[in-house]
Amino acid sequence: DADVTQTPRNRITKTGKRIMLECSQTKGHDRMYWYRQDPGLGLRLIYYSFDVKDINKGEISDGYSVSRQAQAKFSLSLESAIPNQTALYFCATSDSAGAEAFFGQGTRLTVV
Amino acid sequence: DQQVKQNSPSLSVQEGRISILNCDYTNSMFDYFLWYKKYPAEGPTFLISISSIKDKNEDGRFTVFLNKSAKHLSLHIVPSQPGDSAVYFCAASWGRAGKSTFGDGTTLTVKP
């Protein structure tokens, strides 16, 4: 089984719909992250969390919200999806500052 | 302003030769630098990292060099193998948050 699991892997949704992307990890790490990747670009940080009670905005948090339900679970929500949120979304975990991050396989989201 | 830049979108090398991937950064506060490799339809996977107190780190065929005065790092792959063909991301982090800022990636193609 993968250390970091994202569901769904692919999703097509309509403009204005609410959608949730889920992430779970078995690494036992406290830190979890949500990134977005657009074609030809690097990964941009949406939100990050140090533990269940510590959630922080990243560089592109507008239009997104997150929930850290448990140490192992970190979900990303789009309250009202719009077409420019069409992208590849990655969840990641790490155990400390500067340490390597472990990524999920990604969720390809298309908003039509 | 992009703090981590990979100015070469693509690189093509012959099998057995050296691959050199470059990365420049602007934030002198960065204290960890990481390289990730990404295959299509997969999440990024960690390759090698270097602390800002070092100028070189080696792991098998992979070596990362850091030039702090020039705010430049490079990844050397010797010898290059066809299986190394992937997108390589440079990332940098600093402070307690440890959240990484990514470059846009360089697509490496190793020809047999």
- In angstroms, the separation between the Cα of residue A73 and the nearest Cα of chain B is 18
Query: B9-31: per-residue pLDDT in tens?
Result: 999 999 999 999 999 999 999 99
Cβ–Cβ contact B25 with A under 8 A: no
**Confidence check: pLDDT of A2 > 80:** no
Cβ–Cβ contact B102 with A under 8 A: yes
Q: By the 8 A CB rule, do A89 and A34 touch? A: yes
* pLDDT confidence of residue A1: 64
**Confidence check: pLDDT of B57 > 90:** yes
CA distances from A14 to A8, A60, A78, A88, A112 (A): 16, 21, 12, 16, 5
Q: How confident is the model at residue A14 (pLDDT cuts 50, 70, 90)?
A: very high
Cis check: omega of the bond before B79, within 30 degrees of 0? yes
Contacts of B3 (CB under 8 A, 6+ apart): B25, B26, B27, B30, B92, B101
Contacts of A54 (CB under 8 A, 6+ apart): none
* pLDDT confidence of residue B99: 81
Instruction: Indicate left, alpha or beta for B110 from its phi (over 0: left) and psi (-120 to 50: alpha).
Output: beta
- Which residue has 């990524």 as its token pair? A103
Q: How confident is the model at residue A19 (pLDDT cuts 50, 70, 90)?
A: very high
CA distances from A109 to A19, A76, B80 (A): 10, 12, 34
Tokens of B15: 């099998």
Cβ–Cβ contact B45 with A under 8 A: yes
Residue A83 has phi, psi (to 5 degrees) of: -55, -30
* pLDDT confidence of residue B25: 97
Interface of B with A in 46-85 (CB under 8 A): 46, 49, 51
- Which residue has 């193609």 as its token pair? B109
Tell me if B44 and A4 make a contact (CB, 8 A cut-off).
no
Cβ–Cβ contact A101 with B under 8 A: yes
* pLDDT confidence of residue A97: 76
Q: What mean pLDDT comes out for the span B21-50?
A: 95
- CB neighbours (10 Å) of residue B24? 18
Q: What mean pLDDT comes out for the span A54-68?
A: 95
Q: State the average pLDDT for chain A.
A: 94
Query: B70-90: per-residue pLDDT in tens?
Result: 999 999 999 999 999 999 999
Secondary structure letter of residue B95 according to DSSP: T
Tell me if B100 and A101 make a contact (CB, 8 A cut-off).
yes
